Amino acid sequence: MKHFVLLFILLGCASLAKAQETALYECLYQYEVNGRDKKNQPFSEIYNGILQIGASQAKFQDYTAFQSDSVKQAQPDNAELQKEYDIQVLKNPNYFDQTVYQNLPQGKMTLLGVITPDYYVYAEDLNAISWTWTEDTDTVCGYPCRKATGTYGGRTWTAWYATDIPVSFGPWKLTGLPGLILEAYDSENIHRFSAISFRKAKSAIRPLEADNALTITRDKFVKAKNHFEQDPMKNLPIEAISEMEVRKFGEGVKDGSISINGVPLRLHPNGYVPLELQ
C-alpha cells in the first residue's frame, strides 16, 4: 500500500508544466465489442488498450501504438526496429483509434482521433459523467472494487473502481471516481473494458502531438465519425485523396493495410459499433 500512498501525495503536488510526464503505473485493459454483422449474426471483437498513469495526468491508447511509442523513446536511432513496430500498428485488425489524454489541459481531457484522411483533436470536461455511487462490491483484477453508474454519450455505464488505487482515471473517457476504474460496461453489454494487469510503469507518457490534426468540437467529431465508419469506402471524400498506399503483409485477406494521404483507412468487416451514440 505504501506505493499507492506515495502516488496519492504526488497527485496533490504535481504540475502539468512538464513537456513529458513520467508514468508511475500502467493498467492494461481488454476492450470487448459485441454486436451483429450485416447478416445479423452475432460477433465479438477484442481490442487491447493501456492506461499510463502519471502524477497529474493519464493517457489511454491502443496497446500496439503504445509499444511503437515505447520503442521510439527507448531506441530513437533504431529506424529498422521502429519500422517493425509501426507495421504492427498497421497490421492490427482491431486497433483502438482514439487516444485520450486525461487531465490535459488541467480539468479537461483531450482526444486525438481519426476520420480518414485526417486526424482530429478536441477537448472536453474531464469529469463529464455524473456518477451515482452504490454500496455494491466486487473484486476485479485482484482489487476490491465499488460500483457506480452514469450516463455518457447516449449509453448508461456501470463502472467498478478500486479505492486502493486513489486516482480518478480510467479506460477511454471513463473518469471521475475516487479510485481507478478497473471494469466498465454499458447497459446493453455491447462495450466492456476489463483490466487484465496493473503494474509499475516502464515508459514516460509521450506528449500530445497534434500539430497536423484539425481542431473540432466533440459533438461534430462524434457525428462525423459515426457517419464515416458506417461505410468508410463510400464516405471517403474522393476530392481529398492525393495519394493512396496499399500494403500486403501476408497471404490472408485481412493481412494488409490501406493508407490515404499517409493516414490509415481501417475497414470494419463485421460492421461498426460506436462507443458514443450522441
pTM of the model: 0.91
How far apart are alpha carbons 158 and 149 in whole angstroms? 4
Does the pLDDT of residue 17 top 50, yes or no?
no
- pLDDT tens digits for range 154-212: 999 999 999 999 999 999 999 999 999 999 999 999 999 999 999 999 889 999 999 99
% residues pLDDT > 70 (the chain): 91
How far apart are alpha carbons 195 and 65 in whole angstroms? 18
- pLDDT tens digits for range 201-259: 988 999 999 999 999 999 999 999 999 999 999 999 999 999 999 988 766 556 678 99
All cell numbers assigned to 265: 483507412
State residue 248's pLDDT score: 82
Does the pLDDT of residue 271 top 80, yes or no?
yes
CB-based contacts of 167, cutoff 8 Å, min separation 6: 7, 11, 53, 58, 179, 180
Distance from chain centroid for Cα 269:
21
Does the pLDDT of residue 10 top 50, yes or no?
no
Does the pLDDT of residue 106 top 80, yes or no?
yes
For residue 117, is the peptide bond before it cis, meaning its omega torsion is within 30 degrees of 0? yes
Largest CA distance in the chain: 58
Does the pLDDT of residue 56 top 70, yes or no?
yes
The beta-carbon contacts of 19-22 under 8 Å, at least 24 apart in sequence, are: 19/207, 20/204, 20/205, 20/206, 20/207, 21/54, 21/55, 21/56, 21/57, 21/204, 21/205, 22/54, 22/55, 22/201, 22/204, 22/205
State residue 190's pLDDT score: 97
Mean pLDDT value across the chain: 91
